[in-house]
Amino acid sequence: MLNGCSVVSATQQPDKKNLNLFVAGTPRDKLISEFGTPAALSLDKKERVEIFSFADGYSLTNKAGRAIFHGIADIGTIGFWEFAGTPLEGHFDGTNMLYQVTYDALDRVENVSKLKVN
């Protein structure tokens, strides 16, 4: 118990994404390198439209701080913290995000719409 599942879970949370890339003029390859392969692609009226679906997570500082906290709590409670810490980390696993992106003829962002996620 002392090596802590909550400690490991905190360090393996999704990374914080650079949402500032969702602006007009950003090259398509930069979006793909940051957010991964688009979840959907449509060629509408000779335009490329893609949907990006990803989990926006936490900064390295945030993840490290949480892992340290869990480690200290594990030691202080002789491992009993895991009964609360592990489910907490399972709950705080980033924010699901969905963006629709339209590109110009040079594959640069032309228009961005943040879609609602339920």
In terms of residue numbers, what domain contains 66? 5-114
DSSP3 helix / strand / coil % (the chain, rounded to 5): 40, 30, 35
Structure tokens at 104: 């110009």
| Whether the predicted model's global pTM rises above the 0.85 cut | no
Give 79-98 pLDDT, tens digit per residue: 899 999 999 888 888 999 99
In 3D space, the residue among 52, 51, 50 whose CA is nearest the CA of residue 35 turns out to be 52
Q: Provide the 3-class DSSP secondary structure of residue 5.
A: helix
Residues 6+ apart with CB under 8 A from 73: 6, 81, 85
In 3D space, the residue among 17, 30, 16 whose CA is nearest the CA of residue 103 turns out to be 30
Give 21-75 pLDDT, tens digit per residue: 999 999 999 999 999 999 998 887 778 999 999 999 999 999 999 999 999 999 9
Structure tokens at 12: 């393996």
pLDDT at 112 over 50: yes
How many independent structural domains does the chain possess?
A: 1
Q: Which strand (E) or helix (H) includes residue 95?
A: strand 95-103
Structure tokens at 6: 């909550």
| Stated length of the chain | 118
- What pLDDT was estimated at residue 4? 56
